[in-house]
Structure 1
Amino acid sequence: MTTSIYYVGYDAAHPGDFIYDIPDGHDFWLLILTQTPAEFWVQGEIREYPANCAVLFPPRQKIMYRACSGQFVNDWVRFETDESYVLETTLPRGVPIPVPDPGYCRQLFQLLATENFFSCDYRELSIDYLFRILFNKLLEAFQSKENSPHYQKLLNLRKAIHNRPGAEWSVRSMADDVHLSPGYLQTLYKATFGISCMDDVIQCRIRLAKERLIHGSLRIADISELCGYKNVEHFSRQFRRIVGCTPREYRQSVDLRL
């Protein structure tokens, strides 16, 4: 079972009169990710779709899309495969689907381009892994019920929380960041991710604290401050409530196991 790339490109920019029209389709698969709005031939008519959509064209299916708002920018890959996760995918064929986290998918296209360019020992295996991840993300996007108008803002907020758990997070500051009321933010965040925004902050802080307690020699007071706690006693109480022991006891238990 293999997947072979004919060509892969990303951030490909085209002028406003761009049109791609292949009436009988290709002999290979084509997957594109739009970065700008575009018009596609879908079910016998031209329809306009917003930016950040993915479209999978199987071999020998009509392909037609064009720019509709000035410059057209997209990522794309032409490939051949006999992998079941592609051949039997439930993704619609030739129909754009919104991608809630396009930046992540664009990074996968860039990695595919890099792996395809170099002749490394694990090139084919790496390409296969990247394709599997990409198709998983597209299936998540297709099956997701959370693609509300605010989803991308919530996703960016969650990324920021996980990247910087020690920042001075509060419901009010997070609500201001995403331009929502505090109450509406808390409702949307819990419905989207299954956890409240402040509980997410606390979980990330405790995870960072455990990492620093295991690896490194920082004082507990310093770890507390690093994780966003102004009061070491508050940090210790919260750590014990979640982990079941104090930070000092946790460090000692890890040292004993080592």
Structure 2
Amino acid sequence: MTTIYYVGYGAAHPGDFLYDFPEGHDFWLLILTHTPAEIWVQGSVREYPANCAVLFRPGQKIWYRACAEQFVNDWVRFDTDESYLTETTLPLGVPLPLVDPGYFSRLFQLLATEHFFQYDYRELSIDYLLRLMFHKLLEAARETDRQPDEHQLLELRKRIHNNPGFAWSVPVMAESVHLSPSYLQALYKSAFGVSCMEDVIQSRVRLAKERLLYGSQRIADIAALCGYRNVEHFSRQFRRIAGCTPRSFRSSAGAAADQK
């Protein structure tokens, strides 16, 4: 069983903020930094960049402070007898850089909502959220070959997948992450195993399949929605990815539905 004592997110502290507990607490503490911070780790104080997670076990020395005009963080204080927490292989008291800190921050917000309100499945929801959070922390701890600009690349990839119909081009993408086009292409392929423009095309085809399966729009309208000014170009790229034309895809899907 896990007991949450307090959850906070997006808390802003002044530049002279210091959190100093030499003997630690009698509960667990997990923090997520949104700004740079100085943190005591294994006998010395070092400055760490923003977007790091740090887990402190009960009784462990805790010392961190702001090293800019403001310190912003999320945190959760809890007690637990769950083995996935008490026997965790996560490094304790050591900052873990996070590729997608926004994802973690949203988990803190959801955790706070479940903690402060008496919903019917409150305890179960808290357990699920904590397990998800710690699974993601384990993934972060195992990622040792991180690209220096991977956070920016991940945000770019989210924008591509959420809006594939935008007029994406390598120069436009490079400008959005403040990288040169050639450097962006090399980093993107290394990080995700696919080129940035191929990722755009695959995202467009996924959206097209969704509209072909569950909509009644004309193929020309779907092509425009997916960012294509030319229906023939859309059809060629769709066929390369899906193995058939958009029209054949829609007809096959409709025939399969009629046989059920």
Shorter chain as normaliser: what TM range?
over 0.9
TM-aligned CA deviation for residue 220 of structure 1: 0.6
TM-aligned CA deviation for residue 17 of structure 1: 2.1
Bigger shift: 61-70 or 72-81? 61-70
CA-to-aligned-CA distance 1:165-198 (integer Å, 9 cap, x gap): 0111111221222222222211110100111111
The residue aligned with 1:198 is: 197
Residue type at the aligned position of 2:35: T
Give the Cα–Cα distance (whole angstroms) in 2 for the partners of residues 87 and 195 of structure 1.
38
Residue type at the aligned position of 1:154: L
The residue aligned with 1:118 is: 117
Give the Cα–Cα distance (whole angstroms) in 2 for the partners of residues 18 and 191 of structure 1.
39
Give the Cα–Cα distance (whole angstroms) in 2 for the partners of residues 12 and 181 of structure 1.
35
CA-to-aligned-CA distance 1:199-251 (integer Å, 9 cap, x gap): 11111000000100111111011001100111111111211221122111111
The residue aligned with 2:55 is: 56
Residue type at the aligned position of 2:212: L
Within 5 A, what are the aligned runs for 1:134-173?
134-173=133-172
Asked if the contact 1:53–1:98 (Cα under 8 Å) also holds between the matched residues in 2, the reply is: yes
The residue aligned with 1:244 is: 243
Bigger shift: 244-253 or 83-92? 83-92
Residue type at the aligned position of 1:125: L
Residue type at the aligned position of 2:139: E
TM-score with structure 1 setting the length: 0.95
- The answer to whether the aligner puts 1:5 opposite 2:4 as a matched pair is yes
Any stretches of 5+ residues in structure 1 without a counterpart? none
Residue type at the aligned position of 1:249: S
Give the Cα–Cα distance (whole angstroms) in 2 for the partners of residues 184 and 39 of structure 1.
31
Helix, strand or coil: the match of 2:88? coil
Asked if the contact 1:146–1:192 (Cα under 8 Å) also holds between the matched residues in 2, the reply is: no
TM-aligned CA deviation for residue 116 of structure 1: 0.8
Change (3 A) 1:116 1:206: same
Asked if the contact 1:25–1:59 (Cα under 8 Å) also holds between the matched residues in 2, the reply is: yes
Helix, strand or coil: the match of 2:131? helix
Bigger shift: 127-136 or 161-170? 127-136
Any stretches of 5+ residues in structure 2 without a counterpart? none
Give the Cα–Cα distance (whole angstroms) in 1 for the partners of residues 241 and 38 of structure 2.
51
Aligned residues between the structures: 257
TM-aligned CA deviation for residue 59 of structure 1: 0.9
Give the Cα–Cα distance (whole angstroms) in 2 for the partners of residues 204 and 72 of structure 1.
37
Bigger shift: 152-161 or 43-52? 43-52
The residue aligned with 2:68 is: 69
TM-aligned CA deviation for residue 123 of structure 1: 1.2
TM-aligned CA deviation for residue 90 of structure 1: 2.2
Give the Cα–Cα distance (whole angstroms) in 2 for the partners of residues 40 and 54 of structure 1.
11
Residue type at the aligned position of 2:4: I
Asked if the contact 1:97–1:142 (Cα under 8 Å) also holds between the matched residues in 2, the reply is: yes
Give the Cα–Cα distance (whole angstroms) in 2 for the partners of residues 221 and 3 of structure 1.
54
- The answer to whether the aligner puts 1:43 opposite 2:42 as a matched pair is yes
TM-aligned CA deviation for residue 67 of structure 1: 1.7
TM-score with structure 2 setting the length: 0.94
Asked if the contact 1:11–1:74 (Cα under 8 Å) also holds between the matched residues in 2, the reply is: yes
Bigger shift: 143-152 or 192-201? 143-152
The residue aligned with 1:90 is: 89
TM-aligned CA deviation for residue 146 of structure 1: 4.6
Helix, strand or coil: the match of 1:46? strand
Give the Cα–Cα distance (whole angstroms) in 2 for the partners of residues 83 and 11 of structure 1.
27
Give the Cα–Cα distance (whole angstroms) in 2 for the partners of residues 98 and 7 of structure 1.
23
Please give the root-mean-square deviation of Cα atoms over the aligned residues, in Å: 1.4
Asked if the contact 1:27–1:60 (Cα under 8 Å) also holds between the matched residues in 2, the reply is: yes
Give the Cα–Cα distance (whole angstroms) in 2 for the partners of residues 47 and 172 of structure 1.
37
The residue aligned with 1:20 is: 19
Give the Cα–Cα distance (whole angstroms) in 2 for the partners of residues 56 and 48 of structure 1.
17
Percent identical among aligned pairs is 71
Helix, strand or coil: the match of 1:40? strand
Asked if the contact 2:96–2:141 (Cα under 8 Å) also holds between the matched residues in 1, the reply is: yes
Give the Cα–Cα distance (whole angstroms) in 2 for the partners of residues 237 and 18 of structure 1.
58
